[in-house]
Amino acid sequence: MRELYDEWVDKLRRALAVAFTRELYWSSNRKLAADDLVNVSRPEVIGAWLLAKASIGRVGLPSNPLGAGMANAGEISSFISKTGKGILNKFENEANMLFNDNDYWEMINRLKTRD
C-alpha cells in the first residue's frame, strides 16, 4: 500500500495545489496576481486550507492532520511558488473562454427565464 501512495503522492499534491489556486482565483473575483498567490501560499495557510477541505469532504486529509500534513502543505506551497504564474494563466484562459462562450450564456439566460 505504501508503494501505491508513494507513486501517487506528487500527483495528489499537484492536484491540491491547483485546487487551492483555483479557489483563490475565483474568490478574488479573477483578480489574483501571481505575487499575491505566492505570498498567501505559505505552508501554514495551505495546512489550514487542507484541514478545512478535509472537514467538509475528506479531500487530501492526512492521516495525522496536525503533524504529518504539514510536510504535504510545505510541498504544495513549494509547487505553487514555482508554478503559480503558469497555473493562473491557465485559469485566466479558462475564464476568458467561459465568459466569451455565447452558447453557454444563452443557456444560462434560458434557465433564468424558466424561474
For residues 45 and 67, what is the distance between their CA atoms, to the nearest angstrom?
Answer: 14
Question: Which DSSP category does 101 fall into?
Answer: -
Instruction: Check: CB of residue 69 under 8 Å from CB of residue 62.
Output: yes
- Residue percentage of the chain with pLDDT more than 70: 88
The model's pTM: 0.76
Across residues 97-110, what is the average pLDDT? Answer: 92
Residues 49-93 have pLDDT tens digits of 988 887 776 655 556 656 656 778 899 999 999 999 999 999 999
